[in-house]
Amino acid sequence: MELIIQQIINIDNCAESYRKDTKRLLNEKEKELEDEINELWMHWYSEKKVISTDTLKRMEEEGEEMAKKIRAEGEQKLSIIKNEFNNRKMIIVDEVVSRITKLNT
């Protein structure tokens, strides 16, 4: 029984470590996407010298569309990472149940 408890604690510690690593990775990816958006904006505006009001309005609209596209791609990537995390979490739970079942038989 003590061995079962220790194995459950070990698996729980592994799952917690994986959760923290995944959360850190999600935060890093989100920061990378924010940095990429900011860099694109700065590059885009630094190339423009003297511009008309119509051109500025068009640039703002194009920039908003670009930002929406980048944000959507980022959200899609984050969704994939979150789904992978949830799938791995279920694998860990299945492994715990399997080990407990084997130990009880």
d(CA 50, CA 21): 47
Would you say residue 18 has pLDDT above 60? Answer: yes
Tell me the mean pLDDT in the region 70-87. Answer: 83
Sign for the CA dihedral angle at 52, 53, 54, 55 comes to positive
| CA 77 vs CA 6, 25, 47, 73, 74: distances in Å | 36, 12, 30, 6, 5
pLDDT band, residue 84 (cuts 50/70/90): confident
22-61 pLDDT per residue, tens: 888 888 888 888 888 888 877 777 765 555 677 777 877 8
Write down the residue that tokens 């079942």 correspond to.
101
* Domain parsing of the chain, residue ranges: 2-104
Residue entry with tokens 């959200």: 75
pLDDT for the residue numbered 49: 57
